[in-house]
């Protein structure tokens, strides 16, 4: 039987061949986990018709150019069903091979257990922890609308499609992100909820009885419960088409599927979720599907040809866009900079510089000054905060907030949704065209940690402005005073952590964060700190290297090295003066970024921290990890107290006098406890 495809009306549909293609996807969904003895076949089998419709009938994508800017975006939030996505990428011609599928979940494979953006061509985001992809999709919707508003609907005109399961909807991050999406009325977001009633433990009824339709309606989404149509490709296409037409709000399609379909023994069974089918069950299921039961990874040429039609179709979409782009009379330099997530050429010349005469300034205030000074030459930058805009400095002077009325606003009010903010920021960055920076108190980075970890894993270009970075924040007390967070974030691979000592180090940290790829965490003070005379000339190179000599003794070699970060660097300088008065010479090292310092040559690191000279670190945070650089520590390995910040710092030993005392103990051969 043949019918017409509205996206490619000149190519008739062969519905029998389409059904064979869907069945082949189901066969791959069984074969790959069986070969790996690990994986999740059931969801991929159930959603094969949906994936077929999305990739062949609905989405505008070009497998020959996966990063074409105006492509539709697709996110598999329930990333455990990754074999479904890998199968589609192989079949449609994104460069994956059958050998990749055969190596599913194996070391070095391009088909890892959950989708990882840097390993597999054609992915938009890294998904796996449930709910992250849900929030990423919201970020993509924000990015699409912002770019369309700032540039032109002629060159920005696409949709974001997200598949999410029960687990995604149960995780709290989806509540946060869905609420924000509804508030912003993000049209062009089409989410499909795979309502299969199964989790690892068994039926969802064990722990989950939400009325999903009412929940999302209350958020302001359009909801379409399309029911028992998981195997009806025309009904699925019609529902997706209706959803695309709603430009005024995000849409949730509720699809009742049957996990493991059409397995004779495992359909609607929790065992189909996370366990490979037995060889016998695969054979029985392939018989039902009409597949070759004696072959694994069977893909007949006719099926491959069917899906490879996505390539010429995608090229035609991209060519039409390229023609529109070439005719567009907007500023292409601005477009290019936004797409890269960096500043215009030479933007660094607008970075502010500071002198001691400018007076004390909290590094969070210096962050605000940097944002105000450079925002107009970083085309895609968009700050936001979790209800702490003024506290964190996350607003550019004169900027308007994002809203339904202002889709091009240069500020996002994320609300009190730290985890959602983190996931949305990753989606914005992964979409391309924008550089998100999001702020909250450093202690509440704990609420963001899941999203931060995924951003680090996927090397998303996001910037975190985490303020109120120590007991120095004062009266809010131990619930708000970070202790262990700095060590925890430093332990995260691929997260660049910078704790600047003053306004000049802050400006250089901002430069590094904007110019670098991957995520950067800026750890900033609430309290004012002096602008150090030494940073005026030295911070430019020093912060980029992660650590540098801030001050050396005027005469002679140092007897001891004092190593500080953030607000404690000034304390080290004061302690050095006290030591000098007593005849001990101290070198003061500012070490704003362990990550950047570790990347330097061993020669450079040894020059800054020479062997054979005692070292004392000073940081108002946990001492955990400092043994790599210091022989003794002035740190805080317990919770703080509710008191004015300067009182806390004094009571817990962060004073020049106490640091000098500890340094003298170290010089006397009595390492501090």
What pLDDT digit, counting tens, does each position of 5-44 carry? 555 555 578 999 999 999 999 999 999 999 999 999 999 9
Query: Mean pLDDT across the chain, nearest whole number?
Result: 96
Q: Provide CATH 3.40.50.970 ranges for the chain.
A: 17-319, 340-523
What local confidence, expressed as pLDDT, does residue 10 receive? 52
HSE-CB for 606 with a 13 A CA cutoff: 5
Residue owning tokens 């985001």: 125
User: pLDDT (tens digit, 9 = 90+) per residue, 213-225?
Assistant: 999 999 999 999 9
* pLDDT band, very low/low/confident/very high, at 671 (cuts 50, 70, 90): low
Q: Are 504 and 355 in contact (CB under 8 A)?
A: no
How far, in Å, CA of 572 to CA of 529, rounded?
13
> How far lies 399's CA from each of 212, 381, 463, in Å?
36, 11, 19
Q: Tokens 């059409």 identify what position?
A: 262
Question: Are 518 and 461 spatial neighbours (Cβ–Cβ below 8 Å)?
Answer: yes
The model's confidence at residue 466, banded by pLDDT at 50, 70 and 90, is: very high
Q: Average of pLDDT values for 110-133?
A: 97
Other CB atoms within 10 Å distance of the CB of residue 12:
12
**In whole angstroms, what is the distance from residue 378 CA to residue 124 CA?**
23
Q: How is domain 17-319 classified at the CATH fold level?
A: Rossmann fold (3.40.50)
Decide if 550 contacts 569 (C-beta within 8 A): yes
Q: Where in the chain is the domain with CATH 3.40.50.920?
A: 546-667
Second CATH level (architecture) for the domain 340-523 = 3-Layer(aba) Sandwich (3.40)
- 8 Å CB contact between 320 and 314: no
Which residue in 144, 171, 176, 418 is the catalytic one? 418
Asked whether the beta carbons of 423 and 139 are under 8 A apart, the reply is yes
Per-residue model confidence (pLDDT) at position 673: 44
| pLDDT at position 670 | 60
pLDDT of residue 558: 97
Q: What is the mean pLDDT of residues 235-250?
A: 97
Q: What percent of the chain has pLDDT above 70?
A: 98
CATH class of 546-667: alpha beta
- First-to-last alpha carbon distance for the chain, in angstroms, is 81
Question: What is the DSSP secondary structure assignment for residue 609, as one 8-state letter?
Answer: S
- Spatial contact of 169 and 193, defined as CB atoms under 8 Å apart: yes
Percentage of residues in the chain having pLDDT higher than 90? 96
How much is the average pLDDT of 524-541?
97
Mean pLDDT of 191-204: 95
Indicate if the pLDDT at residue 342 is higher than 50: yes
Local structure of 452: helix, strand or coil: helix
Eight-state DSSP code of residue 82: H
CB 563 within 8 Å of CB 617: yes
Distance CA 645, CA 549 (A): 28
The answer to whether the CB of 672 falls within 8 A of the CB of 659 is no
| Tokens coding 547 | 């650590």
418 is catalytic: yes
Question: How crowded is the C-beta side of 270, counted as CA atoms within 13 Å?
Answer: 9
């Amino acid at each position: 039987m043949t019918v017409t495809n509205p996206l490619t009306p000149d190519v008739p549909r062969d519905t029998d061949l389409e059904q064979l293609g869907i069945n082949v996807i189901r066969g791959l969904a069984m074969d790959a986990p069986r070969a790996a003895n690990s994986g999740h076949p059931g969801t991929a089998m159930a959603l094969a018709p949906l994936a077929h419709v999305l990739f062949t009938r609905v989405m505008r994508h070009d497998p020959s150019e996966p990063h074409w800017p105006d492509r539709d975006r697709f996110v598999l939030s329930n990333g455990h069903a990754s074999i479904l996505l890998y199968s589609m990428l192989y079949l449609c011609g994104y460069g994956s091979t059958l050998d990749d599928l055969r190596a599913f979940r194996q070391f070095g494979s391009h088909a890892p257990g959950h989708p990882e953006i840097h390993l597999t061509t054609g992915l938009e985001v890294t998904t796996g922890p449930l709910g992250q992809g849900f929030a990423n999709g919201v970020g993509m919707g924000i990015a699409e609308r912002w770019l369309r508003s700032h540039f032109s609907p002629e060159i920005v005109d696409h949709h974001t499609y997200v598949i999410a399961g029960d687990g995604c909807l149960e995780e709290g991050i989806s509540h946060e992100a869905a609420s924000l999406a509804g508030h912003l009325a993000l049209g062009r977001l089409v989410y499909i909820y795979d309502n299969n009633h199964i989790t690892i433990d068994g039926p969802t009824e064990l722990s989950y009885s939400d009325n999903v339709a009412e929940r999302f309606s209350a958020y302001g989404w359009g909801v379409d419960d399309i029911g028992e149509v998981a195997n009806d490709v025309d009904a699925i296409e019609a529902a997706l088409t209706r959803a695309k037409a709603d430009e005024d709000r995000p849409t949730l399609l509720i699809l009742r599927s049957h996990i493991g379909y059409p397995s004779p023994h495992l359909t609607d069974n929790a065992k189909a979720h996370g366990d490979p089918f037995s060889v016998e069950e695969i054979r029985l299921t392939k018989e039902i599907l009409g597949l070759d039961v004696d072959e694994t990874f069977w893909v007949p040429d006719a099926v491959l040809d069917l899906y490879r039609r996505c390539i010429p179709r995608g090229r035609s979409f991209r060519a039409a866009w390229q023609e529109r782009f070439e005719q567009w009379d907007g500023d292409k330099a601005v477009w290019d900079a936004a797409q890269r997530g960096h500043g215009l050429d030479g933007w660094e010349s607008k970075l502010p510089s500071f002198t001691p005469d400018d007076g004390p300034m909290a590094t969070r205030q210096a962050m605000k000054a940097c944002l105000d000074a450079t925002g107009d030459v970083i085309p895609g930058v968009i700050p936001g905060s979790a209800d702490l805009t003024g506290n964190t400095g996350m607003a550019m002077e004169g900027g308007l907030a994002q809203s339904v009325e202002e889709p091009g606003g240069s500020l996002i009010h994320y609300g009190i949704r730290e985890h959602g903010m983190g996931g949305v920021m990753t989606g914005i960055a992964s979409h391309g065209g924008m550089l998100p920076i999001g702020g909250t108190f450093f202690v509440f980075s704990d609420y963001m940690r899941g999203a931060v970890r995924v951003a680090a894993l996927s090397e998303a270009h996001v910037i975190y402005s985490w303020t109120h970075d120590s007991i120095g924040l004062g009266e809010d007390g131990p619930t708000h005073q970070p202790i262990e967070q700095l060590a925890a974030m430093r332990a995260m691979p691929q997260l660049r952590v910078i704790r600047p000592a003053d306004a000049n180090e802050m400006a250089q940290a901002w430069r590094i964060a904007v110019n670098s790829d991957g995520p950067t965490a800026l750890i900033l003070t609430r309290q004012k700190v002096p602008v150090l005379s030494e940073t005026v000339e030295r911070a430019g190179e020093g912060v980029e290297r992660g650590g540098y000599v801030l001050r050396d003794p005027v005469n002679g070699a140092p007897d001891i090295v004092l190593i500080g970060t953030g607000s404690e660097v000034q304390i080290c300088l004061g302690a050095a003066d006290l030591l000098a008065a007593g005849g001990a010479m101290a070198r003061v090292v500012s070490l704003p970024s362990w990550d950047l310092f570790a990347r330097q040559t061993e020669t450079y690191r040894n020059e800054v921290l020479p062997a054979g000279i005692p070292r004392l670190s000073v940081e108002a945070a946990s001492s955990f990890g400092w043994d790599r650089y210091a022989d003794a520590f002035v740190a805080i390995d317990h919770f703080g107290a509710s008191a004015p910040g300067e009182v806390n710092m004094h009571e817990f030993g962060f004073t020049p006098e106490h640091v000098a005392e500890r340094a003298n103990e170290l010089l006397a051969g009595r390492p501090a406890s």
